[in-house]
Amino acid sequence: MSTTTAAGDLDLLLGRKWKKPPFIKRPWLRWGLIIGAGIYLALAIASVPVNWARVYEGLDRGAAFIAAFTSPDFASRWGDIRHGMMESLIMTVAASVVGILISIPIGLGAARNIAPLPVYMLCRGIVAMSRALQEIIVAILLVAIFGFGPLAGFLTLSFASIGFMSKLLAEDIESMDKVQAEAIKATGASWLQWINYGVQPQVMPRLVGLSMYRLDINFRESAILGLVGAGGIGATLNTAFDRYEFDTAAAILILIIGTVMALEYLSGIIRAKVQ
Amino acid sequence: MLRLEKLTKTYPTGDQALKAVDLEVPAGQVVALIGPSGAGKSTLIRCINRLVEPTSGKTWLDDQEITGLGSRALRRARRRMGMIFQEYALVERLTVMENVLSGRLGYVGFWRSFLRRFPQSDIDEAFRLLDRVGLLAMADKRADELSGGQRQRVGICRALIQDPALLLVDEPTASLDPKTARQIMRLICELCAERGLAAIINIHDVALAKLFVQRVVGLRFGAIEFDGPPEALTPEVLTRIYGEEDWEQTIEDAPDEGEEEDAEEPREAAR
């Protein structure tokens, strides 16, 4: 009996075209969303004011800026540039190291599968606060407290690194293989031994990769933080712009790009090694 | 030596995985625990070393009540219960030697283990065990470079270096080919005999279990349905444990084709 019905169903299906079922089942909702999104996009583009006359004027300035890249001037402000770069590098490395060291315990606490609920809530709170406050805002506050200079930049970058690293580390811990950790627990290991043998090996490659990425971010951020007075190469860059010394600015930008690329290359090598 | 008294586990979802299980295992006895998927076999052995907290009931290892221990005493008690896992559960990025030595974590302090400076006696014992299972040459390889059978041997070394009185073995052969499965089962049972260890072995493969153990316990819906020697596993008994099926083949054949199809964990096939 049931076999005949199945055969009947099969006969109905044979020879029919097959298509993947659409993600949104109701056709009116599907088409409504597509058309709605199209209208929104058109209106949004139309609403951006463009002053074509101003753009035309600006083209010259832009051209001067780009032309400066063909003749970057490393020499005339070399002292300032070197000082700024050193300050940025020191700031970046110090902030990354401090930020990462602090973010490891917070990351452990923010992983739901290893931390008890109160610790988890506290650490997630710290992470949320660090991520909610944008670097520039923190830098403005810290410059107000500690005055101009790299100390404010260093503290800002450390603070920002904590949120970033803790969150991503915690997520990696939460997605680790539970059984490997369980096996270590079953040997009678203490909590610290359990972390060291059961958890750390599983998250180490990610931790190293993230640390390198954060180092890279911190260096780029240090160029921005100078704009609000937090020291580093950003301060030198800002001064160059203020003086309309586009060729010096170009030299600084080239150095920043070069450093970021070098860091990128380095992190690629290191990540391949720790896999 | 091991005694379970009305051991019960109810998961927060309301599933009753164990219903007042009473079981006694004398020293040196190897027990196979069989039963369909979801019968509570894994829960049972995890309740013994409290990787899963039992809801009620008591567990005794010799004259120590495991269920009442605080965390420090529990860690001490866990040293006496070696565990072997289905998917080997080696820490994949650690070396074979680190994996074996991790069985000593209950005995050494944090800094020693952190710096990997284990006592010479532990290191010698690790080499001896690796030699016993034929993996001495692999000591400094990373665990994820080994094959399934080799990994399980390392898992066995890790459990044995704890110097346990009892082995808790969770589906040791489920991810292995039939030949390796037999070798691993033989190795576990030989080592238990050599060292006078008691063991509880969760196993799907009834025919394989019958080859090696002295006693079989059948679990169904979290309760013990059968407890007896392997010869007493008649088709009627297997039907009581697993449900209706033609059991004659399982009982008579050699277990080369013995891999059960409905293994407990779906990831078994996904290796």
- Helices (H), ranges, chain A: 2-13, 27-47, 52-70, 78-109, 117-132, 135-146, 150-174, 178-186, 191-194, 200-225, 233-242, 246-274
Which tops the pLDDT comparison, B262 or B106?
Answer: B106
Residues of A in contact with B91 (CB under 8 A): 180, 183-184, 197-198, 201-202
What are the φ/ψ torsions at residue B84 (nearest 5 degrees)? -120, 135
* Residue type at A274 in one-letter notation: V
Beta-carbon separation of B75 and A201 below 8 A:
no
Instruction: Report yes or no for ipTM above 0.95.
Output: no
- Classify residue B163 as left (phi > 0), alpha (psi -120 to 50) or beta: left
Q: Nearest CA to CA, how far is A99 from chain B (Å)?
A: 23
The predicted structure's pLDDT at residue B252: 63
CB-nearest to A182 from B51, B98, B106 is: B51
The predicted structure's pLDDT at residue B48: 92
Beta-carbon separation of A183 and B83 below 8 A:
yes
Q: Are B141 and B153 contacting, i.e. CB atoms less than 8 angstroms apart? A: no
Residue of A nearest to B83 (CA): A186
The predicted structure's pLDDT at residue A7: 58
Beta-carbon separation of B75 and A198 below 8 A:
no
Q: Which helix (H) or strand (E) holds B43?
A: helix B41-48
The predicted structure's pLDDT at residue A5: 52
Residue of B nearest to A204 (CA): B93
- For B106-133, what is the mean pLDDT? 94
The predicted structure's pLDDT at residue B254: 47
The predicted structure's pLDDT at residue A6: 55
Instruction: Mean pLDDT check: name the lowest of A98-107, B61-70, B161-170.
Output: B61-70
Block residue for tokens 């070197």: A82
Contact of A113 with chain B, judged by CB distance below 8 Å, is answered with: no
The predicted structure's pLDDT at residue B271: 39
Residues of A in contact with B79 (CB under 8 A): 187-188
Q: Nearest CA to CA, how far is B110 from chain A (Å)?
A: 6
Beta-carbon separation of A180 and B92 below 8 A:
yes
Residue of A nearest to B48 (CA): A186
Residue of B nearest to A191 (CA): B110
Residues of B in contact with A190 (CB under 8 A): 75, 105, 110
What are the φ/ψ torsions at residue A15 (nearest 5 degrees)? 85, -5
The predicted structure's pLDDT at residue B269: 39
Q: Nearest CA to CA, how far is A1 from chain B (Å)?
A: 24
Contact of A120 with chain B, judged by CB distance below 8 Å, is answered with: no
CB-nearest to A188 from B75, B90, B110 is: B75
Domains and CATH numbers, chain B: 2-80+164-270 (3.40.50.300), 89-160 (no CATH)
- The encoded tokens of residue B250 equal 């399982």
For B211-261, the pLDDT digits (tens) are 889 899 999 888 898 898 988 888 888 888 888 777 777 766 544 444 444
Class of residue A12 by CB neighbours under 10 A (exposed 0-12, middle 13-18, buried 19+):
exposed
Beta-carbon separation of B110 and A182 below 8 A:
no
CB pairs < 8 Å spanning A and B: 82
Residues of B in contact with A187 (CB under 8 A): 78-79, 83, 102-106, 158, 162
CB atoms within 10 A of CB A151: 16
Block residue for tokens 């072995």: B201
Q: Which of A182, A187, A191, A194 to mutate to test the interface with B (most CBs of B within 10 A)?
A: A187
Quote the CA–CA distance of A243 and A67 in Å, as a whole number. Answer: 17
Beta-carbon separation of B79 and A204 below 8 A:
no
For B180-221, the pLDDT digits (tens) are 899 999 999 999 999 999 999 999 888 888 888 989 999 988
Residue B258's Cα: distance from chain center in Å? 19
Say what the pTM is. 0.81
For B138-163, the pLDDT digits (tens) are 999 999 999 988 999 999 999 999 99
Q: CA dist B95 to A64, A201, A222, A241, B129, Å?
A: 59, 10, 40, 55, 15
* Residue type at B239 in one-letter notation: T
The predicted structure's pLDDT at residue B265: 39
Mean pLDDT per segment of 10 residues, for chain A of length 275 residues?
A: 59 86 89 95 91 87 80 85 91 94 95 92 94 90 90 92 94 93 93 94 92 91 85 87 86 90 89 82
